[in-house]
Amino acid sequence: NPATEGARLEGEGTHPGRDASPSLSISTVAFGLPGLSISSECESQKYSVLKKSCWEANKLFEDPEFPTVDKSLFYQRSPPGRVEWKRPGEICDDPHFFVEGISSHDINQGMLGNCWFVAACSCLALQPDLWKKVIPNWKEQEWDPKHPESYAGIFHFCFWIFGEWIDVVIDDRLPTISGKLVYCHSKEKNEFWSALLEKAYAKLSTCYESLDGGDAVCALVDFSGGIAEHINLEKGHYASDPSAQAGLFKKLLKVYERNGMISCSIKASQTEREARMDCGLVKGHAYSVTAVRKIRLGQSMQAHFKVEKIPMIRMRNPWGKIEWKGPWSDGSEEWQRVGSTERESIGLTVEDDGEFWMAFDDWCKYFTSADVCHVINTSLAEAGKTWNKVVHYGSWTKHPVPILNRCGGCMNDKETFLQNPQYLFNMTKEEEEILVSLQQQDMKIHRPPGQGENLTIGFVILKVELNRKYRMHDILTQEVVATSTYINSRSVFMHKILPKGCYIIVPSTFTPEVLGDFMISVYTDVDSGLRVLTEDKPRVNCWSAYLGYPRVVTQIHIHGAEGLENQDSSGGADPYVVIHCEGKSVQSAVQKDTLDPIFDMRAIFYRKKPRKPIIVEVWNSNALQDEFMGQVVLTASVQDSAERRNIRLQNRGQDAGDETPGTITLRVITSAQLTSM
């Protein structure tokens, strides 16, 4: 199985489970999403309409979009033998879609190097809510021996492609050699769901050979609409760092319990692909993770008094054979430490079916990468944590006017980086989780051969002014809070905890002037208000001549204060800052129980009256009435220093100019160029 990807920019070399070989796609006619392509004929193939027409004509369906010809099989390497396309009823007696339900053990790899796809199918089979989306109307699609006349030789499957569920119709003619299926097949000779699912996925990618080498997590995303995360087990030092290992197990256990899906692999050089290690594992080979749990040790009576649990992980080899031979392998002596009740509860079997358990520390020692598909709950009707989801489609485009350019490359290109799309969002809680997924259209699958590799993509998150409305033009005036990996995979993922504030995400390609389409998804506890920034500065309109137009732009960064006066009976204060400018104000968060608060807040103002000062006030938050603690008056002119300053607080009103206890530390930048920050 070819299972490596192109070189990563972070110096990882190759990654098992991904393939640099070209792959194929559906035809190129717009499908209603930016850049997404699908053939007009395929779009017009409606399952119910086609099935009804077959009934009326009393014939079995033959798909004109995926005919039984060589181009549906391969574009370079033909299968090793004479291929005959046969319907399930010609391959065996009593064919069925499912035999005794669907199981992760059903599907075995055929002559293609698509262990990644088979591993993904094994994961899918464990998730009823997901496979019923991928295989819609599954009961209606099953053979009905009581009504054979209802069978029309037509099936359909759904895949999530670049933000939309796409229905793919196929006929039931499958490639065989000497009467046996060439590609995916079930261990039950008369079960065909896996072979038909593979055919639909091959049609989506133009031919079967396009599936030779790929990425399991991409198929998992196509099966679920989830978000993909790659975990480099070597870089994370999970084998040698017990604390990191415990954190990873906790994370994967949560993913598994929340119906996410996981695959893993061991990196391999070009000469090591499919090399079998002495321990029984195979290099350059994608495994599906079928369980993550802590297993209780000891016999039942012993376990009643002292519970000892060991973190374990269960996997399946897509070949349906060749298993791990080390500790906790099938029939190993370690299982004597586990009571019969516990063995029964985890469904322990001892047979060469390709599925096996490993201790989690051994898994971290041998495997080099894991791919996780997070299935995110966005429905209030479902149990568990609910996320708010916002999705935007965008493009990296080139424009002759630099300020209108949207393909500026990564932060290595400081002069052009901000010439990328920018998305503003708000975190409204004191501290909140955020999940960010940047996905491009896959250039390696669902594409004709030789039509390019995936772009190397990533993103940066910056903390910006609380009242920003326009695009950012100077990164030095902002705080970079997170930078993703830049990689040539279909998607890039980040999980982060951010404090309350306003932020901008800047998605980009690694190098400037590389064009493409993308989809960015942001998940938060409450609505983040994610929106694209399109304007560079305030617009000139018909009222500007009467109401005035901004002449300067000023950014104020309040770092903190020191030595404030006690306000509470307990001897403390709950201070916050308010910045006033030309009738507008911006307020910081309240800092609890401190006389030396750190505000770290920014505000930006487009000023029509540059001679009018800006006032910064410090207040103490109270339940009944807030108390004034002091202020500073700033000229904020273009001539003023942009250095950080520490200024004594003063009183206001009749006592204006009198000093009050404490100082405030701030930085003010003013420019007559409205697109300077």
Catalytic residue among 1, 114, 259, 317: 317
CA distance linking residue 461 with residue 423, whole number of Å: 9
Catalytic residue among 15, 156, 230, 285: 285
- Residue 158's nearest CA partner among 150, 170, 174, 175 is 170
CA distance linking residue 656 with residue 653, whole number of Å: 5
Helices (H), 46-163: 47-57, 70-73, 88-91, 115-125, 128-134, 138-141
Token pair 């088979």 is found at 118
The two three-digit tokens of residue 523, written as one number: 């998940």
Helices (H), 280-390: 300-305, 340-345, 360-366
Cα-to-chain-centroid distance, residue 556: 35
412 flagged as catalytic? no
DSSP letter for 83, please: -
Provide the residue count of the chain: 677
Apex 108 CA angle, 275 and 358, nearest 5: 60
Whether the Cβ atoms of residue 520 and residue 440 lie closer than 8 Å to each other:
no
Whether the Cβ atoms of residue 214 and residue 117 lie closer than 8 Å to each other:
yes
> Side by side, which strands form the sheet with 308-316?
227-232, 369-374, 261-265, 287-297, 308-316, 355-359
Whether the Cβ atoms of residue 518 and residue 397 lie closer than 8 Å to each other:
no
CA torsion through residues 376, 380, 385, 387, sign = positive
Q: Which residues pair with 606 in a beta bridge?
A: 553
Contacting residues for 575 by C-beta, under 8 A, at least 6 apart: 561, 564, 590, 591, 594, 595, 597, 618, 619, 620, 621, 629
Buried b (16+ CB within 10 A) or exposed e, 210-237: bbbbbbbbbbbbbbbbbbbbbbbbeebe
Token pair 């400081």 is found at 414
CA distance linking residue 108 with residue 8, whole number of Å: 30
Catalytic residue among 42, 54, 115, 410: 115
Amino acid at 676: S
304 flagged as catalytic? no
Q: Which residues pair with 459 in a beta bridge?
A: 507
237 flagged as catalytic? no
Q: Which residues pair with 602 in a beta bridge?
A: 557
CA distance linking residue 199 with residue 319, whole number of Å: 18
Q: Could you give the C-alpha distances from 452 to 21, 24, 395, 640, in angstroms and in order?
A: 10, 11, 17, 52
- Residue 90's nearest CA partner among 176, 156, 207 is 176
Burial of 525 (0-12, 13-18, 19+ CB in 10 A): middle
**Four-point Cα dihedral 126, 130, 133, 138, nearest 10:** 20
The two three-digit tokens of residue 177, written as one number: 């050699």
3-class secondary-structure state, position 603: strand
Say how many C-beta atoms besides its own lie within 10 A of residue 675's C-beta.
14
3-class secondary-structure state, position 661: strand
| HSE (side-chain half, CA atoms, 13 Å) at 82 | 2
H-run or E-run covering 649: strand 645-650
Residue ranges with strand state E in 140-241: 154-161, 164-171, 174-177, 180-181, 185-186, 227-232
- Residue 589's nearest CA partner among 568, 574, 567 is 574
By annotation, the residues acting in catalysis are 115, 285, 317
